[in-house]
Amino acid sequence: MDQEIQWIKKIKKNASSEAANKLISKYYKEMYTFVYKQTLDAELSLDLTQEIFISVLKSINRFDDYKASFRTWLYRIASNRLVDYYRSKHYKYRQLSESIDGHDFEDEEDVTVSLEYKEDVEKITSIVNELETNSQQIVRLKLFAEYTLQEIAAIVQVPQSTVKTRYYTALKLIKKEMKEHRYE
């Protein structure tokens, strides 16, 4: 943690690219995984992860280690970027134009399992995208980054009781929508 703070100070003070590279290297895989779990698209995840770190470096001067840890601040930026992406015209256009062509599967069972899993993740993502921004962040941090409710409360800076309420309300909605989706 102290090393991390030193890197941040070097970046803030003299825009040290060496310190920036070390800081990014420390969190890159974790952020990529967080994004990938929500998009299931390797290239898109690479692009979004890059955008997240560009945003981090542009706004590093606003980071205050007395308010939150760097990791907490990073997840807040990542969650906001994902919310923005799913609201974007690019995402909506991509959903309309994407096809299954070009996917190679070993056998028919692989096709079925892969498609069902992808369809479920896409449906859950679609439901999450319809939630209000605050609830989206909470659900994304819980389901895809596997944070505890207490950690999420620190990240989004609201009381833990509010986080619990929003999370369980969203979860009920997701379950209800998924159940309806299965019977369509």
Residue 159: per-residue pLDDT: 94
CATH number for position 72: 1.10.1740.10
- Tell me the residue type at 47: D
| Residue 168 domain flag | yes
Does the pTM exceed 0.85? Answer: no
Q: What is the pLDDT of residue 117?
A: 64
Q: Are 117 and 123 in contact (CB under 8 A)?
A: no
Is residue 60 domain-shared with residue 137, that is, in the same domain? Answer: no
The number of folded domains in the chain is 2
Residues 114 and 25 both lie in one domain: no
Helix, strand, coil share (%) of the chain residues, nearest 5: 80, 0, 20
pLDDT of res. 101:
43
pLDDT in the model for residue 100: 43
Residues 115 and 141 in one domain: yes
Range of the domain at 22: 1-98
User: Which of 76, 98, 120 is the C-terminal boundary of a domain?
Assistant: 98
> Over pLDDT 70: what percentage of the chain?
80
Instruction: Check whether residue 2 and residue 85 sit in a common domain.
Output: yes
What per-residue confidence (pLDDT) applies to 89? 57
Q: Which residues of the chain have pLDDT under 70?
A: 1, 89-118, 181-184
